[in-house]
Amino acid sequence: MTELAITVNGEPRRLPGPATLLDLLAALGLDARTVVVELNREIVRRPHLGQAALAPGDQVELVHFVGGG
């Protein structure tokens, strides 16, 4: 197992690899249904989060949905 050094919302983060975007969301305690995920400036659709492998140096942006009225 290796360690991945990535950036999440502008902050450096390390996580055990290999890992996918879905693994990252789980590690952060986030529900994939409540965030939009961008990997290296490209939006990754929810059905593909489990296949999108992370690599060292990747930049991930997470945008959370907030309910309200």
Q: What is the CATH number of domain 2-64?
A: 3.10.20.30
3-class SS of residue 49: coil
Q: Which class for 67: exposed (0-12), middle (13-18), buried (19 or more C-beta within 10 A)?
A: exposed
Q: Spell out the per-residue pLDDT of the chain, length 69, in tens.
A: 789 999 999 999 999 999 999 999 999 999 999 999 999 999 999 999 999 999 999 999 999 877 776
